[in-house]
Structure 1
């Protein structure tokens, strides 16, 4: 049985929310994340399940989003997992070799599953999301500046 289908609506929503904040942490600027974490000022006690380690993963592509998958190449990633004293588990999985970013991502992930979630969202995730939206708008503006509108002219021939 598919685990997605066996989840209740609330569990599915929490799963989607966790995917969203994990994606945000994985793609955030490492310096911005570290700065926000320092400003947050909370460094919870934790036990390592898996200390930060650098490795590689194979990235797959798909032609036209529907063709057969193929190996595109390898990508360096850093991952870790930790547990808080209350048993909450946090994971960090980021592109590149930033052990600090992976550790911070794991701590934020763990705290987002506790009572501190709203505070963490307001002080760390919301500014990261705003920065991501600003980068997205900047890229869109640069692309729009190079847009060429072609139109078809009808010749006088039948």
Structure 2
């Protein structure tokens, strides 16, 4: 689900077109946007603090075959949340469409990892190492 939540709308639209799944569903919860509190830790391991709020969209649907799909994404893109929920429902099935959907989601995960690696390398190339030297005599 994390891969679907981080996928761009274009990635989801392309994967949905490649999947050619029957998207006959009814809404259990229409896409709706709201705010969610984000918490952080000082230094990654320290005490928790409230960092702020982010906009998110959630939805739930039930496919014609009875499987349910849920989606929680950052931002206010209702179509993106709908597509993520459809993929979530299809991935719960045991037929060929589920296997095909799993391959498409794995491809999305690989492309996301490549983008993260590229951003990380680009940021690392700008890293500056600072060090301080003291001048003078030692206290001995």
Aligned residue for 1:4? none
Structure 2: 5+ residue stretches without partners: none
The alignment of Structure 1 onto Structure 2 pairs a total of residues equal to 136
Deviation at 1:151? 7.7
Aligned residue for 2:92? 113
Aligned residue for 2:5? 26
Higher share in helix: 1
Mapped to 1, the partners of 2:78 and 2:89 lie a distance apart of 17
Tell me if 1:54 matches 2:33: yes
Tell me if 1:89 matches 2:75: no
Superposition RMSD in Å: 2.3
Mapped to 2, the partners of 1:147 and 1:59 lie a distance apart of 28
Higher share in strand: 2
Aligned residue for 1:133? 113
Structure showing greater radius of gyration is: 2
Mapped to 2, the partners of 1:69 and 1:40 lie a distance apart of 42
TM-score (norm 2): 0.84
Matches for 1:140-155 after TM superposition, within 5 Å: 140-148=120-128
Structure 1: 5+ residue stretches without partners: 1-21
Q: Deviations over 1:44-83 (max 9, x none)?
A: 2112110111111111112123333221111111110011
After superposing on structure 2, the runs of 4+ consecutive aligned residues of structure 1 that deviate more than 6 Å are: 150-153
Mapped to 2, the partners of 1:97 and 1:151 lie a distance apart of 44
